[in-house]
């Protein structure tokens, strides 16, 4: 892309925001980057801090104009860190095999049980396909965008100039720089490699032997995702709710 032409483009990036809000997003992005260099999503938010009321985290019918509204429910207590999901993701989406490149990962946190024993909590993390994605709002070239047909946050690699601003803005540290492609990459729910070809599950959800990851359409009332999110008296939470990003990856322990 010709950089000189960028100034003529109307975009939804950070420059289109009011100055005060723009400063907030940039400040948040740099702050998150600093935190993640020495920590993780788990170190920032406990289950109790992360969860909100069901009405606060689950979108209502007709709230968003997507033809399909793809989302994922993660049954966190079932994860045993077997990493089959990670292998399946790398192989399916051709993710470079480096320690800092991933579309999905599993984070571990040690806790102390009521009996005084150490227990490990394993939390799968990926792009949360936010309804108000900070990454989209700061991208100067509109290389990342919210797809209105699927509700997935997509990447247009040809438009990416490698500025990495979106990586700084992501509350989940769920973007990486692909040096082979010279563009930022992220999870897109395997849309290019599986879902657009008729598959009904992502690579990670299909590979999981414990059915930790449940993928589906929020608008499908007969689907598993809708069922989990609308089961009465069950706790549903999201990561980093304080950012106002409105994620479409939901966590539960049932």
Q: What is the DSSP annotation of 173-217?
A: --EEEETTTTEEEE--TTTTTTGGGT-SS-HHHHH-TT--EEEEE
For residue 70, what are the CA distances in angstroms to 33, 35, 66, 96? 27, 29, 9, 25
The predicted structure's pLDDT at residue 4 = 46
CATH number of the domain that residue 204 is part of: 3.30.70.20
The predicted structure's pLDDT at residue 26 = 44
| CA–CA gap between residue 247 and residue 139 (Å, rounded) | 18
Q: What residues of the chain score a pLDDT lower than 70?
A: 1-56
The predicted structure's pLDDT at residue 32 = 36
Number of structural domains the chain divides into: 1
| Domain limits for position 31 | 3-252
The predicted structure's pLDDT at residue 172 = 97
The predicted structure's pLDDT at residue 208 = 98
């Amino acid at each position: 892309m010709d950089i000189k032409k960028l100034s003529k483009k109307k975009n939804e990036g950070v420059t289109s925001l009011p100055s005060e809000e723009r400063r907030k997003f940039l400040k948040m992005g740099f702050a998150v980057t600093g935190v993640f260099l020495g920590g993780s999503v788990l170190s920032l938010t406990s289950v109790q801090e992360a969860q909100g009321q069901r009405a606060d985290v689950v979108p209502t019918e007709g709230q968003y104009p997507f033809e399909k509204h793809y989302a994922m429910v993660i049954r966190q207590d079932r994860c045993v860190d077997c990493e089959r999901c990670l292998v399946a993701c790398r192989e399916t989406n051709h993710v470079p095999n480096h320690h800092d490149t991933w579309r999905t990962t599993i984070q571990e946190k040690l806790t102390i049980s009521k009996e005084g024993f150490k227990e490990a909590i394993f939390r799968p993390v990926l792009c949360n396909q936010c309804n108000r994605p900070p990454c989209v709002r700061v991208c100067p070239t509109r290389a990342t965008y919210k797809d209105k047909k699927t509700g997935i946050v997509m990447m247009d690699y040809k438009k990416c100039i490698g500025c990495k601003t979106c990586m700084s803005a992501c509350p989940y540290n769920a973007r990486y720089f692909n040096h082979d492609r010279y563009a930022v990459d992220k999870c897109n729910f395997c849309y290019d490699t599986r879902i657009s070809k008729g598959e009904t599950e992502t690579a990670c959800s299909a590979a999981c032997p414990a059915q930790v990851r449940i993928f589906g359409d929020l608008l499908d009332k007969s689907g598993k995702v809708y069922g989990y999110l609308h089961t009465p008296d069950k706790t549903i939470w999201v990561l980093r709710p304080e950012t106002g990003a409105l994620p479409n990856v939901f966590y539960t322990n049932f």
